[in-house]
Chain A
């Protein structure tokens, strides 16, 4: 439980720092923060086996990388566009990968990762390697046609894929019920015979439990399963979103009543973890994040010759 807390807190502080660095002009372009949704990636990925299973997501991907134990330094250095970044500074916030961890990105086209994740699950089945693919997408992507093309083939071929809808209630500025004829998104697999479960995405233990259940389901050869994680993002869609489509009170109410980190903190205290221990942890995490930020600030930019590398693998 303490480890889950630690990971969520790391993501929160990392993202706050990323927001700050964006404000300083250290991070450019689009930057989508995960603040508020931490319990989803942490709870789900704690049930996965790093290196055996695969994970793929959209562009709001910093939290998913941190939840997989990937070094905050190389993530932050990618955000600042440095050679030491995990994509050598050529991907940026939305395009980060760690094939070693089975983390396949980091995709900027809404919904594209659903087809790709289904393909990764195809590979697990084809190679009979006992892995599953955790495929994240948002409530916005849930309306993309290719999601249903993928659902169809995933069920038809009984692929080991866990589809995860991170329902943070807003597709950029459009709320779920303004965009979805069926806004109970866990039901979106029904016409493909894919079972769906709705999960409280603000409760990391509930998320973890759902992930274990889902993993067992797909590993038993029953085909895909769909999890809808009800969550909330506190910040705008990206750094340049003023979030005028919802009230400050609405955001504050979620923070006050449902915050996943506060919730787990109370449980930890009830379980006997002392305030001093929690304070020490907070301090340690702030230290890690600061070191990541310093590293990301000081690391050199890519050499100009990098412009032409990695376009093709082969020599022709």
Chain B
């Protein structure tokens, strides 16, 4: 049977082209790889190669023809044992075919995203459990040490994590306990070691990759997003990537613009990542343990200013908290303050001030930024009908933007006032003490915003 040569699509967007030149004529023998013709697309002139072997029996579309649709028969090749003459006789009259119609597509049906699971509550802490004052720094270290004891696949790598005991002392003591096989100092080479950590996770290990700060993870963001977050999806669920990227995030103190940025909104925008940003030591511990156990890539955003703060941490053998669940840090009925990370401290301070004025504020600590616990936020809004989002970060395209959108879309009927947000000023963070202070969120700004949503 004759083989039909059809007008090829030579780019992702091509629909028709010009058959500029035939480089073979009827009667020529051709084999795979021979160049048959030159075809002009809207972008370029491309060579059209033979795939099959045989004799060119008939050139259906002469050279110089414009507007040849993709899929139109342009020539016929006689196959083995066929004479070119018989094929010619059987050749269809030259015509320019429309591209083969696509199979009738069913009317597009909206595909509903899977319903979120009902949020899991924090496990109850048994009565009588000893409560220990612990810094966030120690809580994070304890979480890593406990998980490393439990699972040999867990290791930690990063700059100064081993011999130096951690640039911020978060990995203190780990080298001594676990040795240099599992606590690994890297050169200053974020892109490189983020790639190695991600690759090791693809191979089945459970790396904890520490960035000295998340500002430096900008060098490595390609691996966090393109390699870690997308691979499970792109591989149809074959290739897991259970890596934890952790380190301090957000403004520290007087370290200037390049060392002071909140990347929460950046990472929370990416499907395929889990993003956690805890405030208290108990949450830091319980959520870092959950992050290390998660089969998914996790970005774990800490805060340098919180490292030294002490919180109550229950003394349990295995304090693990659910990812994707917000915590009500302070119950109240008049207004909802939504925040995460260091912003929770600001919101709690504001709530105390508001209490002095007789306003009972509820404070929600999101804890996980992706997946976001909308349910807890909306439930609180339904109770208080007023909301202020508090975020130590820029306002534009932020977590507060997202919370406000959720309130509009899913909580509109519960709103008695527009949701307001208190964020850092929309500028790179300045060095001068007074300017830095002016740029960062403060409890007084939150109090003022609450007064506005209460029309007072």
Q: Which residues of A contact B (CB under 8 A)?
A: 12-13, 16-17, 19-20, 22-25, 28-30, 35, 54, 56, 85-91, 95-99, 104-109, 112, 114-124, 126-127, 145-146, 149-150, 152-153, 156, 234-236, 239-240, 242-244, 248, 255, 304-305, 307-316
Residues of B201-253 at the interface with A, using a CB-CB cut-off of 8 Å, are: 201-205, 222-223, 226-227, 231-240
Is the beta-carbon distance between B117 and A109 smaller than 8 angstroms? Answer: no
Given that A23-B9, A150-B196, A152-B189 are known contacts, is A310 also in contact with B32, CB under 8 Å in the complex? no
In the complex, which residues of chain A have a beta carbon less than 8 angstroms from the beta carbon of B35?
248
Is the beta-carbon distance between A89 and B223 smaller than 8 angstroms? Answer: no
Is the beta-carbon distance between B201 and A119 smaller than 8 angstroms? Answer: yes
Min distance, Cβ A144 to any Cβ of chain B, angstroms: 9
Inter-chain CA distance A195–B111, complex, in Å, is 54
Closest to B108 in A: A304
Of B8, B51, B192, the residue contacting A17 (CB under 8 A) is B51
Is the beta-carbon distance between A25 and B70 smaller than 8 angstroms? Answer: yes
Is the beta-carbon distance between B71 and A312 smaller than 8 angstroms? Answer: no
In the complex, which residues of chain B have a beta carbon less than 8 angstroms from the beta carbon of A24?
6, 8-9, 70-71
Is the beta-carbon distance between B111 and A305 smaller than 8 angstroms? Answer: yes
Is the beta-carbon distance between B235 and A87 smaller than 8 angstroms? Answer: yes
**25 pairs of residues in contact across A and B, judged by CB atoms under 8 Å:** A16-B49, A22-B9, A90-B236, A104-B239, A105-B235, A107-B227, A109-B227, A112-B195, A112-B222, A119-B197, A119-B198, A120-B200, A123-B203, A149-B187, A149-B191, A149-B192, A150-B195, A239-B11, A240-B44, A242-B43, A242-B44, A312-B274, A313-B232, A313-B240, A314-B295
In this complex, the member of A96, A119, A235 whose beta carbon has the largest number of chain B beta carbons within 10 angstroms is: A119
Inter-chain CA distance A97–B11, complex, in Å, is 25
In the complex, which residues of chain A have a beta carbon less than 8 angstroms from the beta carbon of B44?
240, 242, 244
The 9 closest A-B pairs by CB, nearest first: A115-B195, A119-B199, A23-B8, A149-B192, A88-B236, A123-B203, A316-B324, A116-B199, A240-B11
Is the beta-carbon distance between B192 and A310 smaller than 8 angstroms? Answer: no
Given that A234-B33, A308-B114 are known contacts, is A119 also in contact with B71, CB under 8 Å in the complex? no
B99 close to A (CB within 8 Å): yes
Inter-chain CA distance A5–B189, complex, in Å, is 42
In the complex, which residues of chain A have a beta carbon less than 8 angstroms from the beta carbon of B362?
none
Proximity bits, B166-200, A CB within 8 Å = 1, else 0: 00000000000000010000110101111111111
Inter-chain CA distance A308–B194, complex, in Å, is 27
B155 close to A (CB within 8 Å): yes
Interface residues on B, range: 35 or more
B143 close to A (CB within 8 Å): no
Closest to A90 in B: B236
Inter-chain CA distance A151–B193, complex, in Å, is 11
Min distance, Cβ B117 to any Cβ of chain A, angstroms: 6
Min distance, Cβ B205 to any Cβ of chain A, angstroms: 5
Closest to B324 in A: A316
Residues of B269-310 at the interface with A, using a CB-CB cut-off of 8 Å, are: 271-272, 274, 294-296
Inter-chain CA distance A100–B122, complex, in Å, is 37
Inter-chain CA distance A248–B23, complex, in Å, is 12
Is the beta-carbon distance between A314 and B294 smaller than 8 angstroms? Answer: yes
Is the beta-carbon distance between A313 and B296 smaller than 8 angstroms? Answer: yes
In the complex, which residues of chain B have a beta carbon less than 8 angstroms from the beta carbon of A234?
33
In the complex, which residues of chain A have a beta carbon less than 8 angstroms from the beta carbon of B126?
none
